[in-house]
C-alpha cells in the first residue's frame, strides 16, 4: 500500500510524463516544419517512450492499491529557432525530469517505501541514458554548425531510430 504522500507524488510524475510526451510531439512538429524529418522521427520515438514511462508509473500505482488521477495537459512550447535549440531544450527538460525522479526516490526513502524506491531505480537509470543521448546530439549539432550537408546527413542518421 502506498502512503498518500507517495501516491500523490507518483501521480504528479504520471502527469509529468504525459506532458513530456506532448512536448516531444510538439518538437517533432517543429522539426518537420524545418524539413528535418529524421530528427522529428527521433522526437516521435521520445514521445512513445514518455508514454511508456507514464503507463509504467500508472500500472505501479494501481498494483500498489493506489488511484491514478489524470490532470489536464498544460500548454507546451511550439517554436524553436533550429535543431540545436530543440535539443538544448530537450536536455534541459531531461535534467528537470531527473531532478523529479530523484525527489521521488528521496520521498520513498523518507516514507520507508522500499518497494517504490526499488521500482524507481529503473527510472534513475533511464534518466542517465536520456541525458546522455541529448548531450551527444547537441555535441554533433554543435560540430556541424551551419553546414547544411552535415545537418542533412545527421538528420538521415536519426531517421532510423526505433523504440524497443
List, for residues 80-129, the tens digit of each pLDDT value. 999 999 999 999 999 999 999 999 999 999 999 999 999 999 999 999 99
pTM: 0.94
> Domains of the chain (ranges plus CATH)?
4-158 (1.20.1260.10)
Per-residue pLDDT band at 161 (split at 50, 70, 90): confident
Position 164 scores a pLDDT of 60
d(CA 96, CA 119): 20
Per-residue pLDDT band at 79 (split at 50, 70, 90): very high
Position 138 scores a pLDDT of 98
Mean pLDDT over 60-72 rounds to 98
Residue ranges with strand state E in the chain: none
DSSP for the chain, written as a single string: ---HHHHHHHHHHHHHHHHHHHHHHHHHHHHHHTT-HHHHHHHHHHHHHHHHHHHHHHHHHHHTT------PPPP-----SSHHHHHHHHHHHHHHHHHHHHHHHHHHHHTT-HHHHHHHHHHHHHHHHHHHHHHHHHHHHHHHTT-HHHHHHHHHHHTT----
Write the DSSP symbol of residue 63.
Answer: H
Percentage with pLDDT > 70 across the chain:
99
Torsion region of 68: left, alpha or beta (phi above 0 gives left; psi -120 to 50 gives alpha): beta
Amino acid at each position: 500500500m502506498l502512503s498518500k504522500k507517495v501516491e500523490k507524488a507518483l501521480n504528479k510524475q504520471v502527469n509529468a510524463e504525459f506532458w513530456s510526451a506532448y512536448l516531444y510531439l510538439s518538437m517533432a512538429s517543429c522539426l518537420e516544419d524545418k524539413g528535418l524529418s529524421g530528427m522529428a522521427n527521433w522526437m516521435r520515438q521520445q514521445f512513445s517512450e514518455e508514454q511508456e514511462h507514464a503507463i509504467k508509473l500508472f500500472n505501479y500505482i494501481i498494483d500498489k492499491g493506489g488511484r491514478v488521477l489524470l490532470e489536464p495537459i498544460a500548454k507546451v512550447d511550439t517554436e524553436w529557432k533550429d535543431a540545436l535549440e530543440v535539443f538544448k531544450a530537450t536536455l534541459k527538460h531531461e535534467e528537470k525530469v531527473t531532478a523529479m525522479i530523484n525527489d521521488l526516490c528521496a520521498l520513498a526513502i523518507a516514507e520507508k517505501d522500499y518497494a517504490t524506491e526499488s521500482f524507481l531505480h529503473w527510472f534513475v537509470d533511464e534518466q542517465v541514458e536520456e541525458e546522455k543521448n541529448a548531450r551527444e546530439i547537441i555535441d554533433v549539432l554543435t560540430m556541424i554548425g551551419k553546414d547544411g550537408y552535415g545537418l542533412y546527413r545527421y538528420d538521415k542518421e536519426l531517421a532510423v531510430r526505433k523504440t524497443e
